[in-house]
Amino acid sequence: MPRSGGGCETALAGSLERARINFIKQAFLQYYSKHGSRIALPPDFRSREFAFLAFGEKFMTRHKAIGSHEELVNNIRMLVPSDVYYSTAYYAKPAEVMERKGWLGSDLVFDVDADHIETPCKANHDKWRCIGCGLSKQGKPPNQCPNCGGARFEERTWLCDECLKAAKNEVVKLIDFLANDFGVPDQDMHVFFSGHRGYHLHVRTEQVRRLDESQRKEIVDYVLGLGLDVFFQGLYKKPKDVIVGPQRNDPGWRGRFAREAYRLIMKGTEEELVALGFSPRRARLIIKERPEREESWQKEILWSEFEDRFHVNDATWRTIFERAISKGALPAEIDTVVTTDIHRLIRLPETLNGKTGLRAMAVSNLGTFDPFVDPIAFEGEETVQVTDAPAFRMGNTNYGPYIKQDVTLPAAAAMLLLCKGVGGPTQK
């Protein structure tokens, strides 16, 4: 009898999952049938590979060559994929297997995802469940389950204003690197929202197209601040122990070092200064003397004056500049594989993200772009059965949290719950 009951529960769960996927597929098909003209083809699309991920599956239909916008839309309407991708690479024969494609070059692409940025909000909206014992808690999964010692977990990641703002800030930082350190013109940088928890930045120029994987890795290392030694960035002592250092207007990492060091000295809290190696007494003295120092440092940072006044040693300087690296660099966890992979598949703009039901889309103005308003694809209302969903925003309205209840929501909010797997269509 217990086996029979367990089998019934499994069959019911499978039936509900199929109903959820079928509902989403039908909604996606309706969207593409109505809005297929929105889908944007990338430049030189005939030289790129296209791929389609099936709902509820881990395999792709790939190695597809597309000859026209009509052909692409027909493929999408026929397959109704959860996600649509195209290659960052250009090929002589994109429909062939990888060994025979004939690589011609690749765009330089960066994937900036909130998954790889530590934000406090994740402790509130992300969740994990131990596969071994079923224990479930909020936040990031531990190395081992505190209940059974298992190390296998199911994770539910969510999205909110805080984590997507953090991702946006990293894109702004990345644009600064590419424009000011590498000289990439604005018109050659293209930003896209992924439709989920991050942004893609594409660089499309002849200069980057032929870069190999090792050359792309050098760019990655630079923006991550890997291997930087502060004492090779202009901080050194002249004879007679006069210290000189980089200035705020210096190019590249020198300027980043100087700007963050200046911020720490002029704006850092007592706790921040103590963490750098200053005693509490000296930290308070630094804060007290800021007005006169700010006035005398308008044109340049007087490094030697600061060292003499507060007896700064090499260890403290190094700590200050290591802090500057961590503040100025992109997060070390960022998806570097996307940038170095010269055969990478990337999400196609104006297609739907199967994890949210939001549109992946080009972003013309990062400052005004709202990831919970601009990418909305669905209109109307839907009633869904929600199992367990945290609070979230869609459009200009906040919803939830919901636990084991039926709710009628705008279609975009309902689709988010369905795509995230925390809601299903109501049973009729």
Most confident of 225-239, 285-299, 344-358: 344-358
Is pLDDT at 68 greater than 70 in this prediction? yes
Q: Which helix (H) or strand (E) holds 2?
A: helix 2-35
pLDDT grade, residue 58 (50/70/90)?
A: confident
Q: Which helix (H) or strand (E) holds 142?
A: none
Mean pLDDT, residues 25-52: 96
CA atoms of 426 and 16, how far apart (whole Å): 10
CB 48 within 8 A of CB 102: no
| Structural domains of the chain, with CATH | 12-115+161-218+335-377 (3.90.920.10), 125-156 (no CATH), 230-328 (no CATH), 378-428 (3.40.5.50)
CA atoms of 164 and 406, how far apart (whole Å): 28
Mean pLDDT, residues 104-111: 97
Span 130-166, pLDDT tens digits: 999 989 998 889 999 999 999 999 988 899 999 999 9
pLDDT of residue 303: 86
pLDDT grade, residue 1 (50/70/90)?
A: very low
Is pLDDT at 428 greater than 80 in this prediction? no
Is pLDDT at 2 greater than 50 in this prediction? no
pLDDT of residue 3: 44
pTM passes above 0.85: yes
pLDDT of residue 312: 84
Q: Which helix (H) or strand (E) holds 241?
A: none
Span 317-340, pLDDT tens digits: 888 888 888 888 888 778 899 999
CA atoms of 358 and 374, how far apart (whole Å): 9
Report in angstroms the alpha-carbon separations of 39 from 87, 306, 347: 16, 57, 12
CB 165 within 8 A of CB 122: no
Is pLDDT at 408 greater than 50 in this prediction? yes
**Mean pLDDT, the chain, as a whole number?**
91
**Length of the chain in terms of residues written:** 428
pLDDT grade, residue 237 (50/70/90)?
A: low
Instruction: State both tokens at 328.
Output: 């100025």
Burial 140-172 (b: 16+ CB within 10 A, else e): ebeeebeeeeeeebeebbbbbeebbebbbebbe
Span 192-201, pLDDT tens digits: 999 999 999 9
Q: What percent of the chain has pLDDT over 70?
A: 94
Mean pLDDT, residues 341-358: 97
pLDDT grade, residue 89 (50/70/90)?
A: very high
Instruction: State both tokens at 191.
Output: 């930003």
- Report which of 347, 335, 341 is spatially closest to residue 51, judged by C-alpha positions: 347
